[in-house]
Amino acid sequence: MRAGAGPTAADPGASADGVGPAGSLTAEAEAAKLLPFLAPGARADLQEEAVRHVLALTGSGPGRTLLAGQAALLRALVEFAAAPAPAPARDAARALVNLAADPGLHQPLLAAEPGLPARLLGRALDPQWPWAEEAAAVLANLSREPAPCASLMEALTAAEPGESGLERLVRALCTPGYNARAPLHYLGPVLSNLSQRPSARAFLLDPDRCVVQRLLPLTQYPDSTVRRGGVVGTLRNCCFEHRHHEWLLGPEVDILPFLLLPLAGPEDFSEEEMEQLPVDLQYLPPDKQREPDADIRKMLIEAIMLLTATAHGRQQVRDQGAYLILRELHSWEPESDVRVACEKLIQVLIGDEPEHGMENLLEVQVPEDVEQQLQQLDRQEQEQYQREQQEQELSPESQAEGLHPPEALAAHHQLQTHLY
Residue 329, Cβ density class (10 Å: 0-12 exposed, 13-18 middle, ≥19 buried)? buried
What distances in angstroms separate CA 324 from CA 67, 122, 138, 378, one per listed residue? 53, 45, 41, 26
Q: How confident is the model at residue 49 (pLDDT cuts 50, 70, 90)?
A: very high
pLDDT above 70 (res 29): yes
Which range has highest mean pLDDT (13-17, 25-29, 72-76)?
A: 72-76
Segment 169-224, tens digit of pLDDT: 999 999 999 999 999 999 999 999 999 999 999 999 999 999 999 999 999 999 99
Distance CA 289, CA 285 (A): 9
pLDDT of residue 415: 31
Segment 329-368, tens digit of pLDDT: 999 999 999 999 999 999 999 987 655 444 455 554 545 6
Q: Which residues pair with 409 in a beta bridge?
A: 9
The string of DSSP codes covering 9-76 is B--TT--SSSS-TT-HHHHHHHHHHHGGGGSTTS-HHHHHHHHHHHHHHTTSHHHHHHHHT-HHHHHH
Distance CA 263, CA 268 (A): 15
Distance CA 295, CA 160 (A): 36
pLDDT above 90 (res 283): yes
pLDDT of residue 352: 72
Q: How far is CA 194 from the centre of its chain?
A: 10
Overall residue count recorded for the chain in this entry:
420
Distance CA 32, CA 23 (A): 15
pLDDT of residue 341: 95
Q: How far is CA 151 from the centre of its chain?
A: 18
Mean pLDDT confidence for 301-326: 95
Q: Using CA atoms in the order 75, 79, 80, 83, what is the torsion angle rounded to 10 degrees?
A: 180
Q: What is the mean pLDDT of the chain?
A: 83
Phi-psi region of 126 (alpha: psi -120 to 50; beta: other; left: phi over 0): beta
pLDDT of residue 42: 87
Q: Say which range, 26-30, 151-155, 369-373, has the weakest mean pLDDT.
A: 369-373
H/E stretch holding 334 reads none
Q: Quote the crossing angle between the two packed helices 116-124 and 165-174, to the nearest 10°.
A: 40
Mean pLDDT confidence for 15-29: 47
pLDDT of residue 358: 47
The string of DSSP codes covering 108-164 is HHHHH-TTHHHHHHHHHT-TT-TTHHHHHHHHHHHTTSHHHHHHHHHHHHTS-SSS-
**Is the separation of the CB atoms in 329 and 37 below 8 Å?**
no
Distance CA 164, CA 156 (A): 7
> Of 212, 285, 202, which is closest to residue 250 (Cα–Cα)?
212
pLDDT of residue 385: 56
pLDDT of residue 87: 81
Q: Say which range, 35-39, 197-201, 295-299, 341-345, has the weakest mean pLDDT.
A: 35-39
Segment 123-136, tens digit of pLDDT: 999 999 999 999 99
Mean pLDDT confidence for 6-23: 47
**Is the separation of the CB atoms in 182 and 129 below 8 Å?**
yes
**Is the separation of the CB atoms in 155 and 120 below 8 Å?**
no
pLDDT above 80 (res 22): no
C-alpha angle 131/134/137, rounded to 5°?
150
